């Protein structure tokens, strides 16, 4: 018999939660404040250092005096504007090519019955983890106008179109991975309704398909343009020998002069103007993603994605997808493999078959320089992965769970690096740790790891936030009722439940850290060389056989790691 005035059990449980819950779990300000301070130092600190340095006579923020000389020197030089125009053309054309190619591949793989779709998805992951510098070297060997295998086509890779082609091919995997979920879940009922209403193919694409994909296309295109604006790896392999004026090459030349000290002030003056341009691009990206809800295409009622039956065009679709993998992975890998097994490269000559040997691989496997670079690369990848996961977890918990009014500031700070290229981040870290010697890590692998963690934080934070939003607060409340502290709740409840997302973020950051070149080459010294900078050093000194041996070994290793991690994550999902 119920007593008068008794409360339901659920209500009583809720009241006990409010009493047992430690004050500050949701409303405390300590975690948000700590997060803001850490991210402020990591994201606003580099931007502020470069901004202040651009007004200093020496170019370093900790020195005395103020001047506008660097802005006057740089932005009254006609070469700067030539480089700016070429950079804009290069970035837009590369981004457009990558997005168009990724859109076609995503539609064929995700929405049609093209054969081998599962294997193509795995191949896309291999392309994503392959360092862009390897794409560039492979295509130089293929399309060099003098000794390239494809020189008979008349295509010269040492040109702006050649550089656009290679940069676009290198960015297709990332663009594909961003577009494929949108394409996969595009509701076919909307297209069928338009067809029943009498729309032809052109009207269907123009009035239904493209408007539904518009937010994703704008955001992916914007990110592709941002990534290409100050790309350094491919321009250094192709653009530098061809003397193509680009701001990324100009910045690198100012930071690594053949004689004298770097022109820090001029570099800062270029970077600050570019940062404003990239900030405008990020505003476009933010607007496109903010209004994406108007284009929702998945509903709970009667939604079922279906594949388009290509019929007699099925194998034509297979050939189209295969063409990308041949151009992006197959041909460059074969070119790299050929050069890695011959004593010297003099073109693709059948007479060299008798001279093939594994000597180049034996040399790099016995090289202490390569050994140290491999160890450095592995340490940086692990530290960057762990650091990024920790920051992403802190940001996500505060943004999703905290009740402080200014928690969105943490979200903004976490997304700020997406508008800062890797080159700009590397330069900013030079300004901070070379200018301020209180923290003696300049010239070490740790400063490179910090740069990687900052650059890869936006993606990581967004991924962990999405996972955090799926966790009910009742799980944490139940832990507190049982007497668990905040630390125990994190250790035993939150982290285990978020482990799939955290493992995925760690793998993604580690792979990208292994392939990253721009930050490492800007911050390189005698003691912090990584595989990508050692590879470039061999290539730049004319020792292509050793550079390609490292490249082939790296591509094989990364492909194996993709396969192993893919099986590992699949097993975790099935478990």
* Domain definitions of the chain by residue range: 77-248
303: left (phi over 0), alpha (psi -120 to 50) or beta: beta
In whole angstroms, what is the distance from residue 466 CA to residue 462 CA? 6
The pLDDT, as a whole number, for residue 272 is: 84
Average pLDDT score over residue span 296-318: 66
Q: Mean pLDDT lowest for which of 70-84, 91-105, 347-361, 381-395?
A: 347-361
Average pLDDT score over residue span 396-405: 80
The pLDDT, as a whole number, for residue 27 is: 42
Please enumerate in sequence order all residues whose Cβ is within 8 A of that of 212, keeping only pairs 6 or more positions apart, or say none: 186, 190, 295, 297
237: left (phi over 0), alpha (psi -120 to 50) or beta: alpha
CA 277 to chain centre: 19
The pLDDT, as a whole number, for residue 299 is: 45
Residue 29 gets which letter from DSSP? S
Output the CA torsion 114→118→124→130 (10° steps): -140
The pLDDT, as a whole number, for residue 139 is: 93
Average pLDDT, the chain: 82
In whole angstroms, what is the distance from residue 516 CA to residue 512 CA? 6
Confidence of residue 21 (pLDDT cuts 50, 70, 90): very low
In whole angstroms, what is the distance from residue 278 CA to residue 230 CA? 10
Q: Mean pLDDT lowest for which of 270-274, 289-293, 319-323?
A: 289-293
Residue 25 gets which letter from DSSP? T
Higher pLDDT, 225 or 187: 225
Token pair 């901070």 is found at 432
In whole angstroms, what is the distance from residue 155 CA to residue 238 CA? 13
> 105-129, pLDDT tens digit by residue?
998 888 788 888 888 888 888 888 8
> 179-189, pLDDT tens digit by residue?
888 777 776 66
Higher pLDDT, 105 or 26: 105
Are the beta carbons of 465 and 530 closer than 8 angstroms?
Answer: no
Output the CA torsion 531→537→538→541 (10° steps): 180
Are the beta carbons of 522 and 430 closer than 8 angstroms?
Answer: yes
What pTM does this model have?
0.83
Give the number of residues written for the chain: 575
67: left (phi over 0), alpha (psi -120 to 50) or beta: beta
> 157-181, pLDDT tens digit by residue?
999 999 999 999 999 998 998 888 8
> 500-532, pLDDT tens digit by residue?
888 888 988 998 998 889 899 988 887 889 999
Average pLDDT score over residue span 353-365: 90
Q: Would the pLDDT of 20 be above 70?
A: no
Q: Which CATH class is domain 77-248?
A: mainly alpha
Confidence of residue 332 (pLDDT cuts 50, 70, 90): very high
Higher pLDDT, 30 or 448: 448
Q: What are phi and psi of 286, to 5 degrees?
A: -65, -45
In whole angstroms, what is the distance from residue 79 CA to residue 69 CA? 17
Q: Would the pLDDT of 215 be above 60?
A: yes
The pLDDT, as a whole number, for residue 530 is: 93
From the list 292, 247, 246, the residue with the least C-alpha distance to 270 is 247
Are the beta carbons of 288 and 70 closer than 8 angstroms?
Answer: no
In whole angstroms, what is the distance from residue 53 CA to residue 63 CA? 8
Q: Is 267 helix (H, G, I), strand (E, B) or coil?
A: helix
């Amino acid at each position: 018999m119920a007593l008068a005035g008794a409360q339901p059990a659920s209500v009583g449980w809720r009241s006990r939660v409010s009493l047992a819950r430690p004050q500050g779990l949701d409303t405390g300000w300590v975690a948000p404040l700590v997060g803001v301070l850490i991210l402020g130092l990591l994201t606003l600190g580099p931007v502020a250092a470069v901004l202040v340095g651009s007004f200093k006579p020496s170019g370093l923020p900790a020195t005395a005096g103020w001047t506008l000389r660097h802005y006057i020197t740089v932005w009254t030089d006609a070469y700067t504007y030539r480089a700016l125009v070429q950079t804009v053309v290069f970035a837009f054309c590369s981004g457009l090519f990558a997005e168009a190619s990724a859109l076609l591949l995503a539609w064929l793989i995700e929405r049609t019955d093209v054969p081998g779709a599962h294997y193509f998805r795995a191949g896309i992951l291999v392309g994503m983890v392959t360092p862009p510098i390897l794409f560039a070297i492979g295509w130089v060997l293929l399309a060099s106008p003098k000794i390239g295998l494809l020189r008979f086509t008349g295509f010269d890779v040492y040109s702006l179109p050649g550089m656009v082609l290679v940069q676009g091919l290198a960015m297709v995997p990332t663009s594909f991975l961003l577009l494929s979920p949108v394409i996969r879940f595009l509701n076919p009922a909307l297209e069928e309704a338009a067809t029943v209403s009498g729309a032809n193919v052109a009207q269907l694409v123009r009035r239904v398909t493209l408007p539904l994909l518009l937010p994703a296309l704008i955001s992916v295109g914007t990110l592709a343009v941002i990534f290409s604006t100050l790309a350094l790896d491919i321009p250094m392999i192709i653009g530098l020998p061809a003397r193509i004026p680009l701001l990324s090459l100009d910045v690198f030349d100012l930071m690594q002069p053949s004689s004298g000290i770097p022109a820090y002030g001029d570099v800062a003056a270029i970077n600050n103007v570019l940062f404003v341009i990239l900030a405008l691009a990020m505003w476009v990206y933010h607007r496109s993603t903010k209004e994406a809800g108007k284009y929702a295409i998945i509903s709970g009622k009667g939604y079922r994605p279906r594949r388009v039956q290509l019929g007699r065009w099925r194998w034509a679709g297979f050939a189209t997808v295969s063409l990308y993998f041949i151009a992006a992975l197959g041909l460059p890998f074969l070119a790299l493999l050929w050069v890695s097994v011959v004593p010297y490269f003099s073109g693709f000559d059948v007479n060299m078959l008798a001279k093939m040997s594994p000597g180049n691989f034996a040399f790099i496997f016995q090289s202490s320089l390569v050994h140290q670079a491999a160890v450095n690369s592995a340490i940086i990848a692990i530290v960057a992965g762990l650091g990024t996961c920790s920051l992403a977890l802190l940001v996500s918990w505060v943004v999703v769970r905290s009740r402080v009014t200014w928690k969105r500031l943490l979200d903004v700070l976490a997304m700020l690096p997406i508008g800062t290229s890797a080159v700009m981040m590397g330069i900013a870290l030079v300004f901070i740790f070379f200018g301020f010697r209180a923290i003696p890590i300049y010239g070490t692998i740790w400063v490179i790891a910090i740069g990687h963690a900052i650059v890869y934080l936006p993606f990581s934070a967004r991924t962990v936030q999405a996972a955090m939003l799926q966790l009910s607060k009742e799980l944490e409340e139940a832990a507190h009722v049982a007497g668990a502290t905040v630390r125990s709740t994190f250790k035993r409840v939150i982290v285990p439940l978020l482990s799939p997302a955290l493992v995925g973020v760690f793998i993604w950051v580690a792979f990208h850290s292994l392939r990253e070149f721009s930050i490492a080459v800007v911050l390189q010294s005698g003691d912090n060389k990584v595989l990508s900078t050692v590879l470039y050093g061999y290539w730049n000194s004319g020792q292509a056989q050793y550079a390609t041996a490292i490249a082939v070994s790296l591509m094989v290793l990364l492909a194996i790691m993709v396969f192993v991690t893919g099986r590992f994550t699949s097993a975790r999902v099935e478990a």
